[in-house]
Structure 1
Amino acid sequence: MPTSDQRAQLAQSDHEIFLALKGEEARQRAGLELIPSENYAFPEVLTLLGSAFTNKYSEGYPGRRYYGGQEHTDRIETLARDRAKALFRAEHANVQPLSGSPMNQAVYLGLLEPGDTILAMDLSHGGHLTHGAPVSHMGRLFNFVRYKTDPSTGAIDFDQLRAVARQTRPKLVVCGYSSYPRDYDYADFRRVADEVGALTMADVSHIGGLIAANVMRNPLDAGFDFMTTTTHKSLRGPRGGLILCKEKFAKKIDASVFPGLQGGPHMNQVAAAAVTFRLAALPAFRAYAEAVLGNAKALAEALLARRVRLVTGGTDNHLLVIDTVQSFGIDGAVAQEVLDRVGLTTNKQVIPDDPNPPMRPSGIRLGTPAPTARGMGEAEMAEIGAIIAEALAANGDHAAEESLAARTRALTSRFPVPGL
């Protein structure tokens, strides 16, 4: 965090930006982040992101830089790589990707040829934009084919997945999700990939922290070739990407990241990732991760008790998806706006085979990493579930929303935001 002198300097030099900063701090304190991909970074992360490492250009890799003055940057990147490998039981780690999108692109571009077939989860069924959505550049460069969930259960339909794999013979099988509320048995994906001679990649950006804490399955333990994860979200680190892979793919991955896809890494981000990996290896982080899962189940139970329809009927991980159309007769965009007014930040979300367009989908997505980082537990999840259900049922009732917003403020006032 900036020192008081630095804040005073910003207030004097650019008052408009300073006011926006103050406003965002106030919003985070008074409200509650329930978007599952958002979290509160460790205070040490905020310190390093604003550190002297911001000033240093470090194109290349440790011991093989293009510029001088790299003794400290080499040290932090080596520490980050070693800590990431130990944390995730990986043979090789690349900590330079600037975010999740280039992280995944580096795997595709480093191992495949344009036009190659990739099997990945359908976006509306819980996949991610970077898994070859037609609007993405990767979706235009490679031939992505889709697997979906079973409409009756919401679980991945492995019979359909296997049939698609046999028919299309993909070069790469990708698993991972942004709105699928269940865990995977990665061995199932590995068996399908082995059957058709494909490489395996798991994008665990949402649950990277839960895997690091050993409270959810690790794809590398199932013999996956590649695992990618962002370093924020459930890891509570800086915004960035991490690629973990088998040693035999190390040179191709490193060359794909640099010079193939991007130039110099952001060394303040690398330093912040290094300290994140150390903190994620401590017992306190495992306790945090266990609480994230317990809180997600408690929130799901609170909503189900109010007859709210959840996609897949519950959750095995940190997130859940509400079908707001069936539950409350409103689309996800309206639901998001209602919850904003009562101090709960969520995001509108498509549901499997959603008949509505992406900007007015049929659901919203919730997650528990951020409230758990503030110290909230299952009792608070029960109150949050009640506020959500009452707010969405009272859509447009100004007096009810004012009362619910006061309940949110009363809740958040007891749990400070880490680092603010």
Structure 2
Amino acid sequence: MQDFLFRGDIADLDPKLAELIDIEEERQYRRLILIPSESTAPLAVRRALASGFHNIYAEGYSHDFTGGLSEEQIFDYEERLAEYRRYSDNRYYKGVEYADLLEAVACQRAAEAFAANGKTALDIYVNVQPLSGGPANNAVYHGLVNLGDTVLGMNLLHGGHLSHGSHVNRSGEYYNIVSYSVDSETERIDYNEVERLALEHKPKMIIAGVSSYSWKLDWARFREIADKVGAYLLADISHVAGLIVAGVYPSPIGYAHIISSTTHKTLCGPRGAILMSTDRKIIEIINKAVFPGEQGGPHVNVFGAMALAFKLAQTEQFKELQKQIVVNCKVLADRLQERGFRIPFGGTDTHLLNIDTKCIKGKDGAWLSGDMAARILDEAGIVANRNTIPGDKSALNPSGVRMGTPWITQRGFKEAETRQLADIIADILWACEPHYQGRQLRAKVDFSILKKAKLKVRNMAESAGIDYEPGHHGYPHFYYLDDEADEQTANASYLVDGEKVRELVSVSLSPLKKQG
């Protein structure tokens, strides 16, 4: 029979796309990535995303036959398939008998991983269908509060998240948002102030969760406040889920009415999200809010990658990883503070930290913005992101850089390497000279220090762990001062030093300017 199937790998069918993917994988190998919301999913997890489950639809939910079953019972194919053939399920599509089992094992493993505070896996109801963290939180709004209701969440500029009530997000448009902030002196959450706001505004829901606040949250105190005003408590643990599973961060299980989390970040799984509750009535509401309320068919292939990630998260290796992530982050913060940087919020006991770049000032009083600092670090091979810190007025012009240690710790960094990296960061940023160009902030950096730092970063990255064989692409992708001349392109780099180097370069390049 003649078919219409496209056969061959990516390189056969689309060489340019294959090369782009290869270059991005090499970027992840050659860079030291400090974005706290990023990690590298294990190779097996990435491969699970490409399974045949990708091809099918599975709108809706199966019958609750698999709820409360052990993994051994879920994988009892004879029993489960007999149930399916007799009763089918509630989904709109057929041909989902194995998708039912995959979703069941993902939910069961998630419940096992997050069981805590006297609650077992049997006490935790899980939904693994949200496509990402934003839709997961939107489903909670959809299910538990009405349009115009009051919601109390953390100020985005002080460490909250867009979906916790920012005016540029639908949560800020559809609901009456009251925001709590950190104390102006201590830069810590003042729970008494949170309680005062709750008593004054009587929110229908309180959100406890952060994206850049660097201290552990007090779930019991948040629940106490919620109970005083009859509010639901949503714990958004997207950033710290891996730490929670490993026991190095307190769990909101048993405190929060509903818990949302992404499955990447510190969980080191695929891009997706889950919702959990110990209240069956609440999870039934949430399930309807996810489908059909918020989205259509879930990404079934992601269930498989989640299931594997949740299994790995229960290993001793994962627990040691999470412990080291926190240790490394504290080392990074302490060393940067020793090198003269102010650490917003006063420090960290989690996976992330922030640095205040306003301390770097130019001769004309200009200060180094968070965006300029992040861009210059990126030139050296250190990847971070600009971020607001307490005192900033706009997310468009923040004075902070946010950093985290999940990815470098996965690759093998311990205290010594992290301290060395902190020194490289400090060397680069203190070599920056901010200045005004008209009314615009600008910055330049000592070229020699930048390029030497880039070599150090390259050497550290090449000695760190990797779970695949990276490609090799030179200029314009990855290039260094000590690169050998490229015979094919005649590209070469030269290190020129001396008092009259500027004059030499100017004279040498003047013929090129005339030709151009």
1:401 alignment partner in structure 2: 450
Mapped contact 1:374–1:418 kept (Cα < 8 A): no
Pairs within 5 Å for 1:341-360: 341-355=379-393, 357-360=394-397
Q: Tell me if 1:236 matches 2:268.
A: yes
| Aligned mate of 1:247, from 270, 280, 284 | 280
1:371 alignment partner in structure 2: 408
Query: What do residues 263-301 of structure 1 show as CA deviations (whole Å, max 9, x unaligned)?
Result: 111011111011111110111111111011111111111
**Equivalent position amino acid for 1:126 in 2:** G
| 1: CA distance, partners of 2:360 / 2:226 | 38
Query: What do residues 319-365 of structure 1 show as CA deviations (whole Å, max 9, x unaligned)?
Result: 0000111256300010011100110000000111304x323210100
Pairs within 5 Å for 1:241-280: 241-245=273-277, 246-280=279-313
1:97 alignment partner in structure 2: 130
Q: Tell me if 1:415 matches 2:464.
A: yes
Mapped contact 1:41–1:419 kept (Cα < 8 A): no
| 1: CA distance, partners of 2:99 / 2:468 | 25
- 1:366 is paired with a residue whose SS is strand
1:3 alignment partner in structure 2: none
How far did 1:419 drift? Answer: 4.7
How far did 1:159 drift? Answer: 2.3
- 1:219 is paired with a residue whose SS is coil
Query: What do residues 50-82 of structure 1 show as CA deviations (whole Å, max 9, x unaligned)?
Result: 111111111111232211111211111000111
Size of the alignment, in residue pairs? 413
| 2: CA distance, partners of 1:400 / 1:327 | 16
1:155 alignment partner in structure 2: 188
Query: What do residues 195-226 of structure 1 show as CA deviations (whole Å, max 9, x unaligned)?
Result: 111111110100011111111000114x2101
Rg (Cα) greater in structure: 2
How high is the TM-score relative to the length of structure 2? Answer: 0.78
Unaligned runs of 5+ in 2: 1-5, 63-88, 116-122, 362-366, 433-444, 470-516
| 2: CA distance, partners of 1:389 / 1:56 | 50
| 2: CA distance, partners of 1:367 / 1:165 | 31
| 1: CA distance, partners of 2:41 / 2:454 | 25
| Aligned mate of 2:93, from 50, 56, 67 | 67
- 1:320 is paired with a residue whose SS is strand
Pairs within 5 Å for 1:211-360: 211-221=244-254, 223-245=255-277, 246-327=279-360, 329-355=367-393, 357-360=394-397
2:424 alignment partner in structure 1: 387
How far did 1:15 drift? Answer: 2.5
| 2: CA distance, partners of 1:225 / 1:68 | 33
| 2: CA distance, partners of 1:168 / 1:126 | 21
| Aligned mate of 1:191, from 224, 230, 253 | 224
- 2:178 is paired with a residue whose SS is strand
| 1: CA distance, partners of 2:242 / 2:144 | 26
How far did 1:11 drift? Answer: 2.2
Q: Tell me if 1:83 matches 2:109.
A: yes
**Equivalent position amino acid for 2:203 in 1:** P
1:167 alignment partner in structure 2: 200
Query: What do residues 80-105 of structure 1 show as CA deviations (whole Å, max 9, x unaligned)?
Result: 11111121125210000000000000
- 1:166 is paired with a residue whose SS is helix
Mapped contact 1:373–1:418 kept (Cα < 8 A): no
2:172 alignment partner in structure 1: 139
| 2: CA distance, partners of 1:98 / 1:82 | 19
Q: Comparing both structures, which one devotes a greater share of its residues to helix?
A: 1
Change (3 A) 1:350 1:262: same
1:43 alignment partner in structure 2: 43
| Aligned mate of 1:117, from 132, 150, 156 | 150
How high is the TM-score relative to the length of structure 1? Answer: 0.96
- 2:41 is paired with a residue whose SS is coil
Unaligned runs of 5+ in 1: 1-5
Range moving further from structure 2, 388-397 or 117-126: 388-397
| 2: CA distance, partners of 1:183 / 1:301 | 18
| 2: CA distance, partners of 1:265 / 1:309 | 44
How far did 1:7 drift? Answer: 12
Change (3 A) 1:225 1:261: same
**Equivalent position amino acid for 1:195 in 2:** K
How far did 1:19 drift? Answer: 2.1
1:14 alignment partner in structure 2: 14
**Equivalent position amino acid for 1:50 in 2:** A
CA RMSD between the two structures: 1.5
**Equivalent position amino acid for 1:309 in 2:** R
| 2: CA distance, partners of 1:272 / 1:384 | 32
Mapped contact 1:107–1:253 kept (Cα < 8 A): yes
Identity of aligned residues (%): 41
- 1:80 is paired with a residue whose SS is helix
- 1:405 is paired with a residue whose SS is helix
| 2: CA distance, partners of 1:45 / 1:154 | 38
Query: What do residues 146-196 of structure 1 show as CA deviations (whole Å, max 9, x unaligned)?
Result: 100011111002222111111100011101000001001111111111111
Change (3 A) 1:367 1:375: same
**Equivalent position amino acid for 1:398 in 2:** F
